Amino acid sequence: MSGIDDLGKAHEGKFALDEEQEFKAVARRNKLLGLWAADLMGLTDDAAQEYAKEVIVADLEEKGDDDVFRKIRGDLDAKSVEMSDHRIRREMEELLATAREQIHNGE
């Protein structure tokens, strides 16, 4: 029976590690997305970094990506930056893939 228990614990450990890495990847994606949007809005240096932090915090409002999307969409609209919803969502997907790769590579 201990073999089954060991296998179960190994699966639990892998699941926890995968969840932790995904959490880190999403947080990194949000930072990268915030820097992307900051650039579109003309923010630089400290202001861009601060905005990226705001995007990370926005993701804590609810489960999923809609809270982050709404933050970016609203801020781009407020600064009169024309950008389609599709382009924002595509950037979110691409940056998540980049963030996952960076996490996997230990960056």
CATH assignment at residue 43: 1.10.790.20
Q: How many domains does the chain have?
A: 1
Give the separation between CA 42 and CA 5, rounded to whole angstroms.
55
Q: What is the pLDDT of residue 61?
A: 83
- Distance CA(29)–CA(78), nearest Å, equals 22
Residues 19-51: tens digit of each pLDDT:
789 999 999 999 999 999 999 999 999 999 999
Closest to 24 measured CA to CA, from 94, 103, 97, 92: 103
**Domain that residue 47 falls in:** 2-104
Token pair belonging to 66: 């809609």
The predicted model scores a pTM of 0.83
Percent of the chain with pLDDT over 90: 73
Half-sphere exposure of 83 (CA within 13 A, CB side): 23
- The pLDDT, as a whole number, for residue 4 is 59
